[in-house]
Structure 1
Amino acid sequence: MSINHFPNFRYHPDPVATGNVGPSTTACSICQQARGYVYLRDAIHPGREDYSEQICPWCIADGRAASALNIAFACSLDVDQDVPETALEELSQRTPGYVSFQGEKWLAHCRDVCRFLGDATLEQVRQASAASIAAWCAANDADEALWSELASDYAPGGDIGFYTFECLHCGLIQFHVDAA
């Protein structure tokens, strides 16, 4: 199946670009089809089986994988705002997750989950808006001095991760900052 028919993920619009879904000739363990892409990460589940590189994005998008294996893909537990249960279900059961140092944290704004855009570029961090910095400071009970310190130490692929999220309603760019 071509990329033109790739599933649409509301909260993770380009999991191939973010490195969480990749090309593969492996058949999906759910639908038994080799569709050209697999989820590269493991799922969130109580067991010890590793599901990385075994599930196609189509089975994530339609919820078959979460239902069949009793697993989640994106962690909805760290969403800080009052978000409807339907959005949390879509996030955890039908959205590819991402990897961060201490565990993913999905951000929310305007009473909805934000979409994950991937690791921030150095330019995105250096040119963060006052509203983005203020949102990070409020969410982390921190001040701009700490933001400045973390931002000045940031190098993509280094020991500090800046993960970019965008509000689907107002467009606010937010960052989840994590360290090794």
Structure 2
Amino acid sequence: MLPGFAYHPDPIATGSVKVSESTCVYCGEARGYTYVGPVFCAESLGNRPCPWCIADGSFAARYEAEFTDLYDVPSTVSMETIEIISRRTPGFSSWQDGRWLFHCGDGAAFLGPVGARELAAFPDATEMLRHEASEGWPPNHVEDFITALDKDGDPTAYLFRCRKCGTHLAYADYT
């Protein structure tokens, strides 16, 4: 069983962790899973870290690594939360730089990429995307963009859930 990640509850479902027999670059063990998402560190790594070395922070400490490049973090978010999300939580691959979302003074839990079909179950996240797009596009383009979102394609959206109030959040990304 994988270690628990409060801010990324199912890294296998999101594609950030894969079943693998490769050995971890840090602990040297083959634990059956490897992290395949982004790693930001100065060293070039031959292998990838295992989820256990991410969860306990040992990989990030050894390589001065981060798995998510955080920016636009609200001032209400604690340094401990920032540390957990950036250095002890699997990140996720995106078309451009991944963006972690925050709500209620905490990091939101990453649920994975979604398209228009999946978003239908999350009107709060859809409204957030609609609002974000309306700041630069005319209304008819906003709706076309929302309906064009594709979980496995381009453009896509990334779904999060507030850990405190349960509100669903999303942002869109494309090449």
TM over 0.5: yes
TM-score normalised per structure 2 = 0.88
**Mapping for residues 12-161 of structure 1, pairs under 5 Å:** 12-45=8-41, 47=42, 49-50=44-45, 53-80=47-74, 82-129=76-123, 131-136=124-129, 142=135, 145=139, 147-161=142-156
Q: Give the superposed CA RMSD.
A: 2.2
Query: How far apart in 2 are the matches of 1:108 and 1:153?
Result: 25
C-alpha distance 89-144 of structure 1, shift in aligned 2 (>3 A): farther
Query: How far apart in 2 are the matches of 1:144 and 1:174?
Result: 22
* Aligned match of 2:161: 166
CA-to-partner distance for each residue in 1:14-68, whole Å, 9 max, x for gaps? Answer: 11111110111111121111111111124012x26146x5210000000000001
Query: How far apart in 2 are the matches of 1:137 and 1:144?
Result: 11
Query: How far apart in 1 are the matches of 2:126 and 2:35?
Result: 32
Structure 1: gaps (5+ residues)? none
CA-to-partner distance for each residue in 1:94-134, whole Å, 9 max, x for gaps? Answer: 000001111100000000000000011432323442x4344
Instruction: Percent identity, please.
Output: 32
TM-score normalised per structure 1 = 0.85
Shift, 1:155, TM fit: 2.3
* Aligned match of 1:178: 173
Shift, 1:141, TM fit: 6.7
SS in 1 for 2:65: coil
Structure 2: gaps (5+ residues)? none
C-alpha distance 134-153 of structure 1, shift in aligned 2 (>3 A): closer
Name the amino acid aligned to 2:21.
T
